[in-house]
């Protein structure tokens, strides 16, 4: 039997994966290896980082250097790695909890510094691995195990947060827009500086069943598609209309000096 040409990027013996059937995180893994293949990413120099959560398991399947298992600290890890060896390519796979709940301050600071890493935020709109609790990304009014009467909190716009803090490449796509997602991941990997790609994705087991009353992954994808709007169309919508929408697009791409440390020696000082 012919082997899938992308299989070479996966760690031997790591499959079958542990994701639920129809989980969007597995799609993101697929998109990443496609993007990596197209740009011929050197896996000997790749450090793939996951924190804790479902998306954090993505790096486990990659045949790269891997860090895993601590919630919210992906960017501090990455900062130490990049400062010591700038030649390494660091890619972070973070869930929304990792990225903007427990790790929120690290995200702001890494974006501010323009740390030269790629962060793929797999936003499944809830805490999936722990059983479906509300996250800082859960849309208002929707149910979760900790919002049985509907979420009362206003969710984060991860992309706006990253841009405001200083990220130099920011885009948002979803598991219902795979082709654009792969293109965005490619561009993010080729970008010098802090690049963030938010991937809105379905979580059939938890978010699906509780928030949108269906554990069917296809229904989850349809729900994302129905609630998505392109950047261009979003310009004609009111804030109210946008409050339940995922605006898709490549929002920013600019070149700025990357972070090389908090103290850089200069002869004689300044």
* Residues that bind another protein in the complex, under the rule CB under 8 A: 11, 13-14, 43-45, 47, 59-60, 63-70, 72-73, 75-81, 83-85, 87-88, 105-106, 108-109, 261-265, 268-269
Place of tokens 């293949």: 37
CB of 89 to another protein, least distance (A): 9
76 vs 178, which CB is nearer to another protein?
76
CB of 163 to another protein, least distance (A): 19
CB of 202 to another protein, least distance (A): 24
State yes or no: cis peptide before 267, omega within 30 of 0. Answer: no
Task: Give the SS3 label for residue 4.
Answer: coil
CB of 187 to another protein, least distance (A): 24
173 vs 259, which CB is nearer to another protein?
259
117 vs 125, which CB is nearer to another protein?
117
b/e per residue 190-215 (b: at least 16 CB within 10 A): ebebbbbbbbbbbbbbbbbbbbbebb
CB of 162 to another protein, least distance (A): 15
83 vs 163, which CB is nearer to another protein?
83
| Side-chain half-sphere exposure of 75, counting CA atoms within 13 A | 29
CB of 16 to another protein, least distance (A): 14
> What stretch of H or E contains 29?
helix 24-38
- The two structure tokens encoding residue 107: 């995200």
Phi and psi at residue 250, to the nearest 5°:
-100, 110
29 vs 200, which CB is nearer to another protein?
29
Q: Who's near 78: CB < 8 A, 6+ residues apart?
A: 47, 49, 90, 92, 110, 115, 117
- The two structure tokens encoding residue 145: 């195990």
65 vs 216, which CB is nearer to another protein?
65
Instruction: Give the single-character DSSP code of 144.
Output: B
Phi and psi at residue 143, to the nearest 5°:
-90, 145
């Amino acid at each position: 039997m012919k082997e899938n040409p992308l299989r070479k990027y996966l760690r031997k013996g790591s499959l079958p994966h542990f994701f639920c059937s129809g989980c969007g995180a597995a799609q993101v893994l697929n998109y990443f290896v496609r993007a990596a293949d197209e740009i011929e990413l050197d896996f000997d120099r790749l450090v793939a980082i996951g924190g804790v959560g479902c998306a954090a398991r993505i790096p486990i399947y990659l045949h790269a250097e891997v860090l895993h298992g601590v919630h919210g600290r992906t960017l501090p890890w990455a900062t130490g790695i990049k400062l010591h060896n700038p030649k390494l390519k660091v890619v972070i796979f973070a869930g929304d909890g990792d990225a903007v709940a427990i790790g929120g301050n690290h995200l702001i600071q890494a974006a501010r510094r323009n740390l030269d890493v790629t962060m793929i935020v797999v936003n499944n709109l809830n805490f999936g691995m722990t059983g479906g609790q509300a996250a800082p990304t859960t849309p208002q009014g929707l149910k979760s195990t900790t919002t049985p009467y509907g979420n009362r909190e206003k969710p984060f716009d991860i992309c706006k947060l990253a841009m405001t803090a200083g990220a130099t490449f920011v885009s948002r796509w979803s598991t219902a827009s795979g082709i654009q997602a792969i293109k965005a991941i490619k561009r993010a990997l080729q970008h010098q500086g802090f690049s963030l790609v938010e991937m809105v994705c379905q979580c059939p087991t938890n978010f699906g069943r509780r928030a949108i009353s269906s554990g069917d992954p296809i229904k989850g994808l349809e729900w994302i598609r129905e609630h998505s709007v392109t950047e261009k169309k979003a310009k004609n919508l009111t804030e109210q209309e946008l409050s339940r929408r995922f605006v898709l697009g490549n929002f920013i791409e600019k070149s700025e000096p990357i972070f090389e440390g908090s103290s850089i020696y200069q002869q004689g000082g300044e």
